[in-house]
Amino acid sequence: MEENAYREWLSAYMDCDSCISSFRNQKQFFRVNTIKTTVKEFVEKTKLQIAQTKYYNAAFEFNEKIQIGKTWEYFLGLIYPQSLSSILASLVLAPEQDDVVLDVAAAPGSKFSHMAMLMENKGVLVGNDLTPEKISTLYSTINRLDILNCIITMHNGSSLNWKSRFTKILLDAPCTALGSGEGASGRWDLEHSKKISSLQKRMLFSAYDALRPGGEIVYSTCTYAKEENEEVVANLLENVAGAKLLDINLDIPHEHGLSEFGNEFKKCYRIYPQHLQSEGFFIAKIKKEGVN
């Protein structure tokens, strides 16, 4: 899409100039891997010029531009480079030690490894993805960060055929990545978004079917298009009895989900680059009503 047309389209969602300016000046964030160290120990030992974020104690930003992959902290698996917006998705799902968790599209392992950390390397964490190449990158993350509570599978996320197996599921769906992919806006058009939306809807149905009654699923993307966000969630709510949007109780700057899909969508979070100087993100939390 041409720049002017993209700006006009984006303005329907937010302040276009603030979004694009903040997107181009995002901060570098990372997360301390508390499987290997504590936040206190890390801060005491590291020589990196960093500042802790006020939104999550294990998340930090760099005070200088740095190639994080060349640091000893990265090499030893003490840190994982991850945008602050991305970190929030796992915090919303909030997996615990006794949960059986599925990450539908887990590679390269950012949210997957964060969930292992939140679970204190206990419980069951299933990381799934579609291709051997993606699985290979996931294994690399698992090995570097010492993740032990995991099982890796390779299935099509739109046809998992797992009935009521998991207490919590994360579906960070493939998307047009307008909130994070450099140059994504130049490749984006509405028809492409609609095509991806069709895949996302199938993946969300498949993931929901794999959820136990009483369980919770977080659906997230790093894009702005309603076709890939509210429309996907609304499609599930309209067609499946028992699917219910839940409140997200994170005290962070955000906009609500689009009201044109109904009042309930105020429970969803739209996080734009100007909110956190991080990626643009959409997050919805859904419950499967019923009793295990």
Catalytic pick from 19, 150, 175, 222?
222
Residue 175 bears catalytic tag: no
Instruction: Please choose, from the candidates 205, 212, 209, 242, the residue with its C-alpha nearest in 3D space to the C-alpha of residue 100.
Output: 212
What 3 state SS string does 122-173 have? CCEEEEEECCHHHHHHHHHHHHHHCCCCEEEEECCCCCCCCCCCEEEEEEEC
Q: What angle do CA 172, 178, 184 make, to 5 degrees?
A: 120
Question: What's the one-letter identity of residue 58?
Answer: A
Other CB atoms within a 10 A radius of the CB of residue 130 amount to 16
Tallying the residues shown for the chain, one arrives at 292
Backbone torsions φ then ψ of 151, nearest 5 degrees = -130, 135
Half-sphere exposure of 25 (CA within 13 A, CB side): 8
CA gap 257, 50 in Å, rounded = 33
Q: So which residues are the catalytic ones? A: 222
